[in-house]
Amino acid sequence: MIERVRERPLLRREGGASTLRRESAAVRGPSTQRPGRSAHRAPRAGALSTLTQAIRDGGVITWRNLLGLRRVPEALIGMTVQPIILVLLFALVFAGSLGGAAYREFLIAGIFAQTVTFNVFLTTIAMANDLQKGIIDRFRSLPMSRVAVVLGRTMADLGVGVLTLVVTSVTGLVVGWRIRGSVLDALAGFALLLLFSFAMSWVGVLVGLTARTVEVAQSAGLVWVFPVAFVSSAFVSVQGFPGWLQPFGEWNPVSAVAHASRELFGNPTQLPGFPESHAWPAQHAVLYAVLSSLAVIAVFLPLATARYRRLASR
């Protein structure tokens, strides 16, 4: 076998005919130098802790994802138009039969809870999309944090969550909803909704990475998100459910999020004509909403991250 090792330029050419040559000369730098010494390169190994790198790279991926959402606003429009339609539909069409102004007050926190639950669609589809397009292969060949891709996805979708909450709030204000509690409580209410939105995104990452195609991701989302969002106190009273379904409605975190938001926004927590629920989640709505959000994150963050890592061993 003949090894024809090519001649290497000893010096970096200055202003040579082609920038490629200059570049490649740099690539071929003396092999005695240790990696990571370049002034342009942040030292990677050791110096940056895993967590710092995860946050930094996660931030870069978040930027990339937000840019993508801005360039292809269809998904974003869907996510923001949908709560507007729901608010108008329930407030103008259904409210008349369900209790009028009182129902409108009751309704908006429910729409908030349902909207942040539906955020999972966005995450699922975006994740499956990335996987299908092959960009994930590039990411996985880069010396970046192994959680950055999934973290960047959930962070970007949290940003979308903020936008949908703003849109829903404004629409709610238009149809007569008001925040009747303190400013601090209201801020806590929005913070709680975003926490739940973030938790749901981690579920979406796992579903999206498991589905592999956008079509499967879409239908996989529909199968479980609708029952979870609607078998709750988001739009109606759980007391109106058949007896066997009531425990599910009461312990559904979406109910707790809706109930807690009502408390924090100073809105009625029950519909006229129904007794207050004595179930533990309803009695401790804020606590239960926070705990169930944290529990979802505690379960799905590691699962989603592990799933992403496992893609490597296909």
- Of 43 and 176, nearer to another protein (C-beta) is 43
How deeply is 153 buried, as exposed, middle or buried, from its count of CB atoms within 10 A (0-12, 13-18, 19+)?
Answer: buried
Minimum separation from the CB atom of position 267 to another protein (A): 39
Minimum separation from the CB atom of position 89 to another protein (A): 32
- Of 117 and 145, nearer to another protein (C-beta) is 145
- Of 278 and 314, nearer to another protein (C-beta) is 314
- Of 48 and 291, nearer to another protein (C-beta) is 48
What's the angle, vertex CA 203, arms to CA 65 and CA 131, rounded to 5? 45
Minimum separation from the CB atom of position 118 to another protein (A): 22
Task: Give the span between the Cα atoms of 305 and 33, in whole angstroms.
Answer: 35
How deeply is 246 buried, as exposed, middle or buried, from its count of CB atoms within 10 A (0-12, 13-18, 19+)?
Answer: middle
Task: Give the span between the Cα atoms of 232 and 267, in whole angstroms.
Answer: 17
Minimum separation from the CB atom of position 27 to another protein (A): 4
- Of 2 and 184, nearer to another protein (C-beta) is 2
Task: Give the span between the Cα atoms of 108 and 176, in whole angstroms.
Answer: 10
Asked if 152 contacts 58 with a C-beta cutoff of 8 angstroms, the reply is: yes
Alpha carbons within 13 A on the beta-carbon side of 239: 13
Minimum separation from the CB atom of position 79 to another protein (A): 17
Task: Give the span between the Cα atoms of 105 and 294, in whole angstroms.
Answer: 28
Positions touching another protein (CB under 8 A) are 1-9, 12, 18-21, 23-38, 40-45, 57, 60, 64, 67-68, 71-72, 133-135, 137-144, 148, 312-314
CA-derived radius of gyration, the chain: 25
Q: How far apart, in Å, are the Cα atoms of 261 and each of 59, 83, 108, 188, 276?
A: 29, 16, 9, 9, 16
What's the angle, vertex CA 151, arms to CA 122 and CA 201, rounded to 5? 35
Minimum separation from the CB atom of position 74 to another protein (A): 12
Minimum separation from the CB atom of position 13 to another protein (A): 9
- Of 58 and 249, nearer to another protein (C-beta) is 58
- Of 43 and 247, nearer to another protein (C-beta) is 43
